[in-house]
Amino acid sequence: MHSTKTSLINLSLYISKAVLLGIAIFLFTWDFEPRKISLITEKEIAHFQKIDLVIMLSEITKNPDGVVIIDARLADYYKQGRIPMAISIDVSKDGKSVETVVQAYNSNPEVKYVIVYGNRSDPTAELFAMQLFEAGLDKVQFFYPGFEQWCVCGLPITK
C-alpha cells in the first residue's frame, strides 16, 4: 500500500514537472510581437482595395471592356470553372507574372480595373493582388469573397 501511494505521488510530481516545463518552454519561445501578415504597410493598405460582389458586378456592368479579371487559382481549378472573361495566372507556376501583369495593364488607358480573385480559403490571390499593388499597379482590386461566393449566388461560370 505504501509503495502504491509513493508511486502515485511520484507520478503526480512527474506530471507537474512536465506541465511546468511545457509552460516554461512556451513562454520562452513565444513571440509576443504581433505578426505582420500583410505585405504592404498600414499606410498603403488604405489604398489597396478589397471589393465585394456588388462592387465587382457594378464595375463589370459599367465598363466590361475596361475590366480585366485575373483568376489566381491553380490552373486545374481554372479549367473546372471560372468567372466569365477571367484569365488564368497560376501564381504557383509563373514567377514573372507580377511584372507581366503590371507591364501589360498599368500603361493601358483602356483598362480601368484589374480584379484578382481566388478561392476564399486560399490566401494566394490576395498576396498576388498585394504584390501587384506593391509593384505599382494602382488599378488592382481584390475580390475577397472569392469564387465560392460567385457560385453560391448563382452567377454564371465558364468551363
**What angle is formed at CA 151 by the lines to CA 57 and CA 132, rounded to 5 degrees?**
60
Q: For domain 42-152, which architecture applies?
A: 3-Layer(aba) Sandwich (3.40)
pLDDT attached to residue 47: 65
Radius of gyration over alpha carbons of the chain, in Å?
25
pLDDT confidence of residue 41: 59
Please state, rounded to an integer, the average pLDDT across all residues of the chain.
81
Residue 44 has pLDDT above 70, yes or no: no
Instruction: Please answer whether residues 64 and 111 qualify as being in contact, where contact means their C-beta atoms are separated by less than 8 angstroms.
Output: no
Distance CA 48, CA 46 (A): 6
Q: How far apart are CA 67 and CA 43, in angstroms?
A: 26
* pLDDT, tens digit (0-9, with 9 covering 90-100), for 7-17: 777 777 777 77
| Extents of the domains making up the chain | 1-35, 42-152
**pLDDT number for residue 151:** 92
In this prediction the pTM is 0.70
